[in-house]
Structure 1
Amino acid sequence: MDIIALIKQCIESLPQSSSPIAERKIVLAYSGGVDSEILAYGLAGFAKSHPQFCYQLVHVHHGLSANADSWAEHCQTQSALYQLPCTVAKVSVKLAPRTSVEAQARSVRYEALLAQMQPADILMTAHHQDDQLETVLLALKRGLGPKGLASMGRVQRFDSDKWLIRPLLDFSKHDVEAYAKAHAICHIEDESNFDEKYDRNFLRQSIIPQLKQRWGAIAATASRSAELCAMQQSVVDEEIAVRLPLVQQQLAGDNTINLVALSGYSKAWQLLLLRGHMDELGISPPSKVQSEQIISQLMEAKADANIEIKLSDVVIKRFKGAGYFLPTTPTVKPVAIAISSIDHLYDPGITYGDKQLLKATLANNGVRLPLDGEKVTIEFALPGSTRCQPQNRSKGRELKKLWQEYEVPPWVRGRVPLLCYNGKLVCAIGYWNEKAFTCQEGKVGLIFPTVKPYC
C-alpha cells in the first residue's frame, strides 16, 4: 500500500477547479486513531512533493472521553513531526433522550470540518473497506434503498461546492494496521471503539469477524455491491433531475409539487419524485411507509380535505392542487408597521427583520398618496369579513373570498402586507389595489411590485 500514490490518484481524479491551486486546501479529518494517523503520515510525504496546495489537519475534540485532552495533545505533537498545521476544534455534543450519540457526534464533527473549508477545498477521511461494510449493514438495518446502500464513494462532491476523498476505501482494517506496524507509526486507541452499545462497534466486534470467518472476502464484495448501487442511483438521479422540474412550481413563495402533474406518473415515480423534491429542499428523506402515506394523502384525499402531515423536520400540506412543504418551526406572527413618512415606502423601502418587505415606485398610476392627517400603516391581518373591491372589479367581495379566489393558502394570508390609510385597506401588496384608492388620471401614486412579498 502506497499511501502517497493513493492520495495522488484521488486528487488527480477530481474535476478541474476554477479556484487558484495555491488557495486550494486539503483538510484531513484527524482523530489520531490508526486509520487517520497513517493518512497524516502519507499526507506529510505528499505535501513535500506538492507544495502548490495548502494543508490542514483538523482534530475534533468532542469532550466525550476523559482522554480527549491527551488525544488532542497527541495530534498536535504528531502534526509537528509531520510539519503540517493542526487545528483542534472543540465541539459540544448534545446528549438527549432518544438521540444517537454517534449521530450527534458525527453531525458536529462535520460542522467543525466545514468551518475550516472554503469552496473547492478537499476533505480527506480515513474510511476503509471494513467501514464500508459497516455502513452497508447499517443501511440494511435501517431499511434504506439504493441511495443508502451506495454508502461511501472514493471521490464524491461534498457540501455542494467542495470534495471528499477516501484514499483507503479499497483497503481492509488489517491492511491499515499492517502499514502502521511496518512504519512504526504511533497512534491513539479510543476506548469507546470497544463499547458495543454503539451500533458500529457491535458490528465491528461481534458480527463482522464472524462474517469474515465464514466469507473472507465479504468486505470487498459488499464494497462492490455499494458501487453498483451508487452507479444505479446515479442513473436514477439523472432522470429525477429531468422530471422533477416538470412537477414543481413556485406558489406563495414556496417550491411546491403540482399534484396534477405528479398524477401523470406511476406510483413508483411519484415516490421517487417526492423524495427528490424533499432532498432538494434539504428535508430528511421519509421512510418507505411515510413516503407511501404522503403520496396517498396528497393524491387520493378528497379535494376539500384539510391535509396536514407532520414529520420531524417538515409539515406537508395540500392546497388547490399543490403540495406544500413547510418548516416545523413556528412562524412568528408579524406585527403592524406604522409608516412615519410616506417617503419610506419608496426610498429606501420597508424592511422587516433582515428582509426587504416592499419598495414602491412613484408614477402616474397605482394607489393615491395619503392625504394630510391620514395614518399610514402596513397591516398583516384584517377580518375576513372586510369588504374589498379590487380596482378592476365592478362589485366588492369579502376579503376571505378574495384570498380563496387568488388561491392564497390559509397559512400565508397573515403574512401578506396590507397598506392601510386610517385602518382602511388601500392595497393588498402583490395582489390588488383597492378601487376607492386608485389614482386619479394624471396624478402621481404608488406602484408596488407584483412579486408577492411575505414576512
Structure 2
Amino acid sequence: MSKRTPVPDFDVSSLIADCVAKASVDSGSQLVLAYSGGVDSEVLALGLANFARDNPQYRYLLVHVHHGLSSNADAWAAHCQSQAAKYNLPIEIKRVEVKIGPRLSIEAQARNARYEAITSLMAAGDGLLTAHHLDDQLETVLLALKRGLGPKGLSAMGEVQTFDNNKQLLRPLLSISREQIESLAASQAIVHIEDESNQDSKFDRNFLRLEIIPKLKARWSSIAVTASRSAALCAQQQAVIDEEVSKRLPSYIVPVSQGNGTAFELSDLSEQDLNWQLLLLRGYIEYLGFAPLSQVQLEQALYQLLDAKPDAKIELRLGDTLIRRFRGRAYLSSVEAEHAERIAKSVFELDLTSLLSSASVRAGECVKAGNAETRLGFGVSELATLWVCSSAKSDRVRFPNTDEKVSVRFSVAGSTRCSPHNRQKGRELKKLWQEYGIPPWEREKVPFIFYNDVLVCAVGYWIEKAFICRDVSAGLSFKVVASN
C-alpha cells in the first residue's frame, strides 16, 4: 500500500491577504506577480487567482520574463500564457537581453534584467509578489555568511519590504518550506515547468540547494526555521542601528559649494570611535544608492580619508564606487557613470543666427529661444540650456556680432586669465577654481562659452566683464540643467 501524501496545512490566498494587509496596499493599486512558471510561482499564482476573486478592489498582473537563455524559453512563455488564462489573470511577457561576459555573473545579470523588466510595469504603491519560501531564506543566509556580511546582510529577506519609490515587495510564502509547496502542487495537480539550469551546481544557489542544504536538513531538520529566526533577530538589531544612524548622518552630509550633489564631512567624523565611523560612512554610501562595500573596503577607505596626509591626492576605486577627498570632505561617484559622461569632444560650435531671429523677446521677459530650448550635449546626465533673456534682474551675455562664432568648450587651461563680472580684479582660472572650492575632477565638466577665441563666460559661475549686458537690452543666459 502506497504512502499517502499529506495535504499541506496552509492556504496561499490567506497568506497573500496577510501580506497585503501588512503592506497596507491601497485599493486600486496593482498586485504584480513575478511569474516564472516554476512550482513555487505556480502555487502562488493559483493562490493569487483565488485572492483576486474575493478582492476586486485591486488590479492584477502576472509578469513572465523571457531571458532567452534556454532553448525552452519560448515554451515556458507559452505555458505561462496558458496558465494565466486558466487563472483568469492578465499576463505580460517581457523579453530581455542578459549581458554575458567573462567577468559577469549570469545569475546577477539575469536577476537585474528581470527586476528592471518587472518594475517597469509598476507604479508607486503597487505590490510585487515573489514566491520566495523558507528554504530560499536559508540559502540567502548561507550566501550572506559566505560573503562575510553583517547584520544587514544576515537579515536576509523580509515578508514585507518597501523598495524603489514606495513600491511594496510581498513574500507570502516565506514561512512555508519547499516540501510543503511541492506537496500542495502534487495534491492539486498543478502543472509547472522545470528549468534545467536549476540542476547546474556551478551556480551558488543551486550548489546549496542540491548538495548542502539536504545534508543540513538530514542532520538538523528544523535548520531552515531556526535560520529564519536568526535572520529576523538580525533584522531587528539592524533596524535599531539604522534608526540611530539616520539621526546622526544628516549632520555629516553637506551640499557642494557649487552645483548639485553632496559631500561627506570628515572633520567631525574623525572625532567618533572607529565603529561609528564605519557605520556613518556605510550609511552615507547607502544614502547615495551605491552598492555596499565590504568591511575590509570600508576600513581601507576610512584609513585613506582620515589618516593620509592633508595634501595627498585620495582617489579610491572600490567596485563601481569612486571615493575622492578634497578639502576635508569625501566625494563619491560612480565609475561607470563618469565613464559614460566623459566628454567626447572639447569644442561644440553653435549657430545662433536662426535661433535668435525666431525668438520673440520683450522687455522684462525671459523666454526660451525659439520654440524649444537649445541643448548642447556635453555628457549624459547634464545639458547646457540656452535662454534668451531681457530682464535687467538677471546677469546676461551680450548677443554675438555677426562675425563672432559661438562655441562651447571644456577643460580650459588653468593659466587662462579671467575677468569675472562679480569680482573687482581678474585672476587665473586655476586660482578661481580654488576660490570657488571646485574639486579638480569637477572642473573639466564646466562649459565655457567663447565668441571666436575669446572667453565670454563660465556657465554657472561668471560672465566676463567685457561681455555682460549693462542695460535692459535682451541678452543671453546660459544654464546647466540635469537631463530628464
Output the aligned Cα RMSD. Answer: 2.7
Q: Is the 8 A contact 2:391 2:474 kept in 1?
A: yes
CA distance in 2, matches of 1:3, 1:33: 16
Equivalent residue letter for 2:19: C
Match of 1:411 among 430, 434, 441: 441
Question: What is the aligned partner in structure 1 of residue 3 from structure 2?
Answer: none
Q: Is the 8 A contact 2:32 2:60 kept in 1?
A: yes
For residues 200 and 347 of structure 2, the distance between their equivalents in structure 1, rounded to whole angstroms, comes to 53
**What are the Cα deviations for residues 352-390 of structure 1, in whole angstroms up to 9, with x where unaligned?**
237353546434474662574562444334322222233
The answer to whether the 8 Å contact 2:383/2:480 transfers is no
Shift of 1:139: 0.5
**Which secondary structure does the structure 1 equivalent of 2:268 belong to?**
helix
Determine if contact 2:151/2:238 at 8 Å carries over to the other structure: yes
Task: Give the secondary structure class of the aligned counterpart of 1:260.
Answer: coil
Q: 2:375 aligns with which of 324, 330, 351?
A: 351
2:4 maps to: none
Match of 1:150 among 148, 155, 159: 155
Match of 1:277 in 2: 284
- Work out whether 1:385 is the aligned partner of 2:415: yes
Cα distance 1:86–1:423, how it changes in 2: closer, same or farther (>3 A)? same
SS of the residue corresponding to residue 267 of structure 2 reads: helix
State the one-letter code of the partner of 2:441. W
- 2:40 aligns to what? 35
* Alpha-carbon distance in structure 2 between the residues aligned to 1:409 and 1:173: 54
Query: Counterparts in 2 of 1:319-330, with a 5 A limit?
Result: 319-329=326-336, 330=339
Contact 1:58 1:88 in 2 (8 A): yes
1:160 aligns with 2:165: yes
Q: Which stretch shifts more, 149-158 or 54-63?
A: 54-63
* Aligned-residue offset at 1:146: 1.1
Structure 1 residue 446, shift from structure 2 partner: 5.1
8 Å CA contact 1:248, 1:258 repeated in 2: yes
Tell me which of 239, 246, 251 is aligned to 1:234.
239
For structure 1, which runs of at least 5 residues remain unmatched after alignment?
none
User: Which residue number in structure 1 is paired with residue 16 of structure 2?
Assistant: 7
The residue identity in structure 1 corresponding to 2:171 is: R
Percent identity of paired positions between Structure 1 and Structure 2: 51
Structure 1 pair 247–30 and aligned structure 2 pair: CA distance change class (3 A): same
1:109 matches 2:142 = no
**1:281-320 equivalence runs, <5 A:** 281-320=288-327
- The aligned residue for residue 202 of structure 1 is 207
2:179 counterpart of 1:169? no
> What does residue range 209-220 of structure 1 map to in structure 2 within 5 Å?
209-220=214-225
> Which residue matches 2:6?
none
| 1:313 positional shift | 1.5
Q: CA deviation at 1:81?
A: 1.8
Equivalent residue number for residue 350 of structure 2: 338
User: 3-state SS of the aligned residue for 1:382?
Assistant: coil
Answer with 58-67 or 211-220: which moved more.
Answer: 58-67
State whether residues 388 and 474 of structure 2, in contact with CA within 8 Å, keep that contact through their aligned partners in structure 1: no
2:347 aligned counterpart, secondary structure = coil
Structure 1 residue matching 2:437: 3-state secondary structure = coil
Distance 1:295 1:79 in 2: 52
Counterpart CA distance in 2 for 1:192 and 1:373 is: 67
Aligned CA distance change for structure 1 residues 194 and 382 (closer, same or farther; 3 Å): closer
Give the Cα–Cα distance (whole angstroms) in 2 for the partners of residues 35 and 96 of structure 1.
30
Contact 1:336 1:380 (C-alpha < 8 Å) held by counterparts? no
Report the secondary structure of 1:55's partner residue.
strand
The CA distance in 2 between the partners of 1:453 and 1:177, in whole Å, is 54
Runs (5+) with no aligned partner, structure 2: 1-9
The one-letter code sitting in structure 2 at the alignment partner of 1:277 is Y
Secondary structure class of the residue paired with 2:145:
helix
1:421 deviates by 4.0
The letter of the residue matching 1:348 is K
1:169 Cα offset (Å): 0.6
| Counterparts of 2:472 and 2:96, CA distance in 1 | 62
Could you list the per-position Cα deviations for residues 409-447 of structure 1 after superposition, in whole angstroms to 9, with x for gaps in the alignment? Answer: 22222222334444333433332343444555x565758
Residue deviations 1:383-403 (CA, integer Å, cap 9, x gap): 222222334545432111111
Residues 348 and 409 in structure 2, CA contact (< 8 A), matched pair in contact too = yes
Deviations along 1:294-337, one digit per CA (max 9) or x if unpaired, are: 11111111121111111332222112222111232323325334
Which residue pairs with 1:369 in the alignment? 398
Offset from partner CA, 1:55-90 (integer Å, 9 cap, x none):
122222223233333322222222222222222222
Which moved further from structure 2: 72-81 or 197-206? 72-81
Number of equivalences: 449
The farther-off stretch of 412-421 and 28-37 is 412-421
Q: TM-score, normalised by structure 2?
A: 0.85
CA distance in 2, matches of 1:436, 1:186: 78
| Matched residue type, 2:383 | K
Deviations 1:133-178 (Å, cap 9, x if unpaired)?
A: 0000000001111111111111111323211111111111111122
**What is aligned with 1:427?**
457
